[in-house]
Amino acid sequence: MRIITEAVAGTLESSDLLVKVSPSRDKTLEIHVASDVMEQFGAQIRRVVDDTLKGLAVSDGLIVIEDKGALDYAIRARVQAAVLRGAACEELRWEQLS
């Protein structure tokens, strides 16, 4: 799956996160995570993001995350929503979203 258009999911509010995706200019997958709890949970957040992108088979795109202390399943849901919007995905394969 490739990000072909700019898209956003989530909010900046506490316990949520904002995920912004946009097309990559050099066909790479680039991920930036900023979090209020970066020191404690940065690595864990990054792992959830990576796993979610892998589950969706995202091959290229720019993924920017502003995390406000969201729990893992919120992170997963927001990343999925942003990617599916940005990939202009019409047909959902639900088993990928588990």
Q: Where does this chain bind another protein (CB under 8 A)?
A: 6, 8, 11-14, 18, 20, 22, 25, 30, 32, 34, 62, 64, 66, 68
- The residue (of 7 and 56) whose beta carbon lies closer to another protein is 7
Per-residue CA distances from 1 to 53, 67, 69 (Å): 9, 23, 27
Answer yes or no: are the C-beta atoms of 21 and 63 closer than 8 Å: yes
Q: Would you say 8 or 97 has its CB closer to another protein?
A: 8
Query: Whose Cβ is closer to another protein: residue 62's or residue 84's?
Result: 62
